[in-house]
């Protein structure tokens, strides 16, 4: 893969992202969530008499761990199969552009289109809260939240690219994408509670099953970053804080989603290189 090939694909796909208005859409989604949480949360905090910026950012991140996987899957899950159906791949590969350069360029642009607006909006909202409301911004937690969100986006960008490569029909791929997202969301609480009610699973087993879900791993990392004692989780938090540790939970939320995304993308890259263009 040459740098010139990668740059050509990046320019082409970035033009497609701009034409589809994906960047304004991401900015609008992130901005709407952030404004609602910051404005309402800080307004209520002034009424109730406590400083709420840390809690507001914490609540916002909990909403983001549900929204970010869906956005990442929608941004990447229909890229390759649509390009295959409308003849874009055949046209591109008639030029001196390799398959590795195409897949890497498309993945890079889509990942950047998801991450950069998020970082910009979170930083802007924090500055707004500091200047307009006089709130002390927990910059350490904000940096950790940005890192965890980036890792979670990487996981689902990889899963989306893998789905787009493996499933040729866009309509069927959309169904698979929704199942990926629903599975990650349902495994947050409902599946764990069902397992505990149905079988007597040791605490280590429940934690392991929960940690295999990238969304849950990111959620636990955010909890550990906001409150190292994990007192909000009750006995579960006591177990995690003493047996696992806040630093280990944070490392898990950063490393495991990124590893899931990298593994999925690597599998998609191998299959895309060996598969047919049409």
Distance of CA 34 to the CA centre of its chain: 16
Indicate whether 50 pLDDT > 80. Answer: no
* pLDDT of 178 higher than 80: yes
Portion of the chain with pLDDT greater than 70, in percent: 78
For position 41, what pLDDT does the model report?
Answer: 63
List, for residues 103-151, the tens digit of each pLDDT value. 999 999 999 999 999 999 888 888 877 776 676 777 888 888 899 999 9
Cα angle: 138, vertex 139, 141; to 5 degrees: 70
Mean pLDDT, residues 58-65 taken together:
82
Q: How many CA atoms lie within 13 A of 99 on its CB side?
A: 15
Average pLDDT of the residues of the chain: 81
Q: Is the pLDDT of residue 36 over 50?
A: yes
User: What is the tens place of the pLDDT at every residue in 179-193?
Assistant: 899 888 876 665 666
pLDDT for 218: 87
| Whole-number Å distance between alpha carbons of 21 and 73 | 17
**pLDDT at residue 47 in the model:** 45
Instruction: Tell me what the mean pLDDT of segment 35-61 comes to.
Output: 65
CA 240 to chain centre: 23
pLDDT score, position 62 = 80
User: What is the average pLDDT across 240-259?
Assistant: 82
CA distances from 14 to 20, 34, 135, 142, 218 (A): 10, 26, 37, 28, 28
Quick one: pLDDT band at residue 16, thresholds 50, 70, 90?
confident
Q: Which two tokens stand for residue 64?
A: 């983001």
Which pLDDT score, from 0 to 100, does residue 271 have? 92
Range among 12-21, 105-114, 167-176 rated most confident: 105-114
State the average pLDDT over residues 46-74. Answer: 75
- CA-nearest of 242, 240, 199 to 217 is 240
Structure tokens at 191: 């599946």
Please tell me the predicted confidence (pLDDT) of residue 48.
Answer: 41
The larger pLDDT score, comparing residue 194 to residue 249, is at 249
The Cα–Cα gap between 153 and 255 comes to 12
State what percent of residues in the chain have pLDDT above 90: 29
| Residue 266: pLDDT band with limits 50, 70, 90 | very high
- What whole-number distance in Å separates Cα of residue 113 and Cα of residue 88? 21
Rg, the chain, Cα only:
20
3-state SS, the chain, equals CCHHHHHHHHHHHHHHHHHCCHHHHHHHHHHHHHHHHHHHHHHHHHHHCCCCHHHHHHHHHHHHHHHHHHHHHHHHCCHHHHHHHCCHHHHHHCCCCCHHHHHHHHHHHHHHHHHHHHHHHHHHHHHHHHHHCCCCCCHHHHHHHHHHHHHHHHHHHHHHHHHHHHCCCHHHHHHHHHHHHHHHHHCCCHHHHHHHHHCCCCHHHHHHHHHCCHHHHHHHHHHHHHCCCCHHHCHHHHHHHHHHCHHHHHHHHHHHHHHHHHHHHHHHHHHHHHCCCC
Residue 194 pLDDT: 63
pTM to 2 decimal places: 0.88
Instruction: Give the residue, 22 or 260, on which the prediction is more confident.
Output: 260
So what's the pLDDT on residue 192? 60
Distance separating alpha carbons of residues 238 and 27, to the nearest angstrom? 37
Report d(CA 53, CA 59) in Å as an integer.
10
Predicted confidence (pLDDT) per residue in 212-244, tens digit? 888 888 888 887 776 666 655 555 555 666 677
């Amino acid at each position: 893969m040459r740098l010139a090939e990668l740059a050509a694909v990046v320019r082409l796909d970035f033009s497609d992202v701009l034409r589809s208005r994906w960047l304004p859409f991401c900015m609008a989604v992130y901005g709407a969530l952030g404004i609602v949480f910051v404005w309402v949360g800080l307004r209520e905090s002034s009424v109730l008499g406590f400083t709420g910026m840390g809690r507001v950012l914490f609540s916002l991140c909990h909403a983001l761990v549900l929204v970010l996987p869906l956005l990442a899957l929608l941004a990447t899950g229909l890229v390759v199969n649509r390009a295959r159906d409308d003849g874009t791949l055949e046209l591109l590969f008639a030029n001196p552009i390799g398959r590795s350069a195409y897949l890497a360029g498309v993945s890079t642009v889509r990942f950047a289109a998801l991450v950069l607006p998020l970082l910009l909006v979170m930083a802007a909202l924090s500055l707004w809260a500091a200047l307009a409301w006089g709130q002390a911004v927990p910059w350490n937690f904000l940096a950790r939240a940005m890192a965890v969100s980036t890792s979670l986006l990487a996981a689902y960008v990889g899963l989306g690219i893998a789905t787009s490569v493996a499933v040729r029909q866009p309509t069927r791929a959309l169904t698979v994408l929704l199942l990926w997202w629903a599975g990650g969301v349902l495994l947050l609480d409902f599946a764990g509670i069902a397992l505990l009610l149905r079988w007597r699973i040791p605490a280590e087993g429940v934690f392991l099953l929960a940690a295999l879900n990238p969304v849950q791993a990111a959620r636990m990392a955010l909890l550990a970053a906001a409150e190292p004692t994990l007192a909000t989780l009750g006995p579960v938090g006591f177990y995690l804080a003493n047996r696992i540790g806040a630093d280990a939970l944070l490392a898990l939320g950063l490393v495991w989603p990124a590893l899931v995304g990298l593994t999925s993308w690597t599998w998609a890259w191998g299959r895309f290189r060996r598969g047919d263009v049409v």
